[in-house]
Amino acid sequence: MVDRSPEPRADVCVVGAGPAGAIVAARLAEAGHDVVVLEGGPRFDDESRREKLDSHLRPGEENPWGMGGERDAYTTDGDRDYPLNAARVKGVGGSTLHWQGMVMRLHERDFEMATRHGVGTDWPIDYDDLRPYYAAAERELGVAGADDNPYAPPREEPFPLPAFPPSRSDSVFAEACESLGLDMHSVPNARNSEGTDEAPACVGYGTCQPVCPSGAKYTAERHVRTAEAAGARVIDRAPVQRLEHDESGDRLTHATYATPDGETHTQSARQFVVACGGVETPRLLLLSRSETYPDGLANSSGAVGRYFCDHLFAGAGGTYDRQTDQNHVGFNTSECHQFYDDDDPVVGTKLEFLNYAGPSPVTTALNADTWGDDLLAGLQRDYGTHLAMGALVEQLPQRENRIELDPSRTDDHGNPVPQIHWSLDDRTRAGLRRANEIQTAVLSELGVTPEWTVGPADTGPAYHHMGTTRMGTDPDASVVDPDLRTHDLDNCWLVGSGAFPTGGAMNPTLTIAALAVRAADRLAAEL
């Protein structure tokens, strides 16, 4: 039987074993501190990854990571639905179990949107502050990349692993991009292009999202293993129900967590790190309200749960008159960041050249209403000539986009579920239109008529939950300080994408990791 009793002595209690929590736990444990990690979800068996691949490919199978039940219930109340459970995972490794693994640095301007463009807000730190931590984060995640992106912010050292080479469809897109004056460059990927001591090289299962059976894609389980090897204790299936503070309201004293046997325990520690993602972190703070903090823990500013933002997807695709070799791998190898820093529209836009456009033979076969020679003829006809581009578009923070508690619905422990209020603004729509224009121009240059587009009318989120515990120097307008410590409580640190004052249009996990490394250094100084 697994022992889920509290650790008698802990310097640090980390809530959440995703990338932010795992990196903090690993660094502090390696520095000799006593660390306990409370993770709400289970520990997933490595050997089950191929079974998850199988169930992912077959029609009608459930979420491979068990998301979507009463535990994960939520409601939405905005002008747009938000599919919260589509890509997040509760478990040891967090959403990196499911993620795509693209890891770019934010641009310098992302830290200064108010100063430079009069929109959003400035970060209380700038790119130079974070730059060494980006380098550290790239080492932590074993990023494969190349210094071939003329639009990327300055960097000081090579990527840890060589970039994946361009794909056949990249070379097709290159023809059009050359004609149109668009620059292509490699994609920094958190997956091994070569074998290392920590992970094997990618073998091309093609199912990066939602599961990498080989282990070549980084998941935060790597840092959990490091943390445990250094003496940290990780307790799974231990969802934290509340955080409790002392009489003064200045310090957290313990976390109350539930275990599968129906018991409730309390874990005390000198320092607490909450790293549950951009939705569950503010939810836990709101659930932990007290007489001292009637609007939620660490919420004197009223900003907890506010400014929820994401990246929006734009895309276009069609069929080409030559082979494009799609769906050999499940990740992208080329992007274009040429338009990212433009000011009209002001929102950042990142263009992607997809390597997984159109159907794959096996999934088409399993859903077909025929077989034999008919099926094969259909597969041969439908596979291999698709081309598609994607894009991520920035959403600037708006106070009314927020995570609240919904008292009308409760989870499996009787706690109000998160309610998501989410809407789009005109700037984001303009960015989506712009992305569609570029995508359509590239496809047209190749003689490809776009057969589908995803734009302002039917866009959806990239499931990058940001902004809900924003970082700042003003305690009246932000939740955490530049070190990610809450303004209200001395020993409470909120690590993750909730701290982003603005989100740019780059996939957030490298920035999460960089902030986690930085916060761990700051926290260590307190111990």
Partner 1 sequence: MKLTRRDALAALSAAGVAVGGGVVADRVVDDETLDAELLEAGEDEPTLDESARETLVAVADVVYPTGLEGVAAFVETYTEGRLLADESRRASVATTLSELDEVSREWESTGFAALGPGDRDGLLRELAVDTADPDPEGLLPGRLRYYVVNDLLYALYASPTGGELAGTPNPIGHPGGYRTQLSPEYQRASPAETRDPTAERRDSVRGDASDETETDTSSETTTADGGGDSG
Q: Using CB under 8 A, which residues numbered 28 to 67 contact partner 1?
A: 47-54, 57-60
HEC letters along 67-115: CCCHHHCCEECCCCCCCHHHCCCCCCCHHHHCCCCECCCCCHHHHEHHH
Q: Which of 17, 102, 106, 420 binds partner 1 (CB under 8 A)?
A: 102
CB of 3 to partner 1, least distance (A): 29
Binding positions for partner 1, 383-422, rule CB under 8 A: 383-384, 388, 390, 392
The yes or no reply on residue 90 touching partner 1 (CB under 8 A) is: no
Answer yes or no whether residue 371 interacts with partner 1 by CB under 8 A.
yes
Rank residues 269 and 505 by Cβ distance to partner 1 and give the closer one: 505
* Closest CB 378 distance from partner 1, rounded Å: 9
Does the CA dihedral 360-97-479-285 come out positive or negative?
Answer: positive
Distance CA 334, CA 107 (A): 18
Residues 257, 288: Cα–Cα separation, whole Å: 12
- Binding footprint of partner 1, residue count (CB under 8 A): 127
Which CB, 502 or 509, lies closer to partner 1?
A: 509
Q: Is 169 exposed, middle or buried (0-12, 13-18, 19+ CB in 10 A)?
A: buried
- The contact pattern for partner 1, residues 481-520, with x = CB under 8 A and - = no contact, is --------------------------xxx-----------
Amino acid identity for residue 525 in this structure: A
The order of strands in the sheet holding 264-268 is 240-245, 252-258, 264-268
* Shortest distance (Å) from residue 237 CB to partner 1: 23
Residue numbers 303-322 binding partner 1 by CB under 8 A:
311-313, 315-317
Rounded Cα distance between 441 and 257, Å, is 54
Subset of residues 349 to 368 that bind partner 1, contact rule: CB under 8 A = 354-357, 360-363, 365-366
Min separation Cβ 496 and partner 1, Å: 13
Residue 444 to residue 440: CA distance in whole angstroms:
6
Q: Which is nearer to partner 1, 57 or 125 (CB)?
A: 57
Tell me whether residue 214 or residue 259 sits nearer to partner 1 (CB atom): 214
Peptide bond into 294 cis (omega under 30): no
Q: Which is nearer to partner 1, 186 or 486 (CB)?
A: 186
Kindly state the tokens that stand for 261. Answer: 């046997």
Residues 110 to 149 in contact with partner 1, rule: CB under 8 A:
148-149
Round the CA-based radius of gyration of the chain to a whole number and report it. Answer: 23
Q: E-assigned strands of 345-439?
A: 349-353, 386-394, 402-410, 416-421
Which of positions 279-298 make contact with partner 1 (CB under 8 A)? Answer: none
Contact status: 230 vs partner 1 (CB under 8 A) = no
In whole angstroms, the minimum distance from the beta carbon of 187 to partner 1 comes to 11
* Sheet with 35-38, side-by-side order of all strands: 233-235, 35-38, 12-15, 271-274, 492-494
State how far the Cα of 463 lies from the Cα of 274, in Å rounded to an integer: 20
Candidates 459, 469, 486, 502: give the one binding partner 1 (CB under 8 A).
459
Query: Which of 165, 231 has the CB closer to partner 1?
Result: 165
> Under a CB-based contact definition with an 8 Å cutoff, are residues 331 and 100 in contact?
yes
The window from 118-126, 261-269, 440-448, 516-524 that contacts partner 1 (CB under 8 A) reads 440-448
CB 74 within 8 A of CB 420: yes
Q: How far is the CB of 219 from partner 1 (least distance, A)?
A: 11
Window of 67-75, 174-182, 267-275, 292-300 that interacts with partner 1 by CB under 8 A: 174-182
Q: What type of residue sits at position 212?
A: C
Q: Is 262 in the site for partner 1 (CB under 8 A)?
A: no
Structural contact between residues 241 and 234, judged by C-beta atoms closer than 8 angstroms: no
Candidates 176-184, 244-252, 282-290, 408-416 — which segment interacts with partner 1 by CB under 8 A?
A: 176-184
Q: Are the beta carbons of 378 and 409 closer than 8 angstroms?
A: no
Q: What is the DSSP letter of 436?
A: H
In contact, 311 and 394? CB cutoff 8 Å = yes
98 sits near partner 1 (criterion: CB under 8 A): yes
The one among 376, 423, 476, 490 contacting partner 1 by CB under 8 A: 376
- 219 lies in the binding site for partner 1 (CB under 8 A): no
- Residue list 321-350, contact with partner 1 (CB under 8 A): 323, 325, 327-330, 333-334, 338-339, 342, 344-345
Q: Is 204 in the site for partner 1 (CB under 8 A)?
A: yes
Among 203, 302, 412, 490, binds partner 1 (CB under 8 A): 203
C-alpha 324/C-alpha 208 separation (Å) is 19
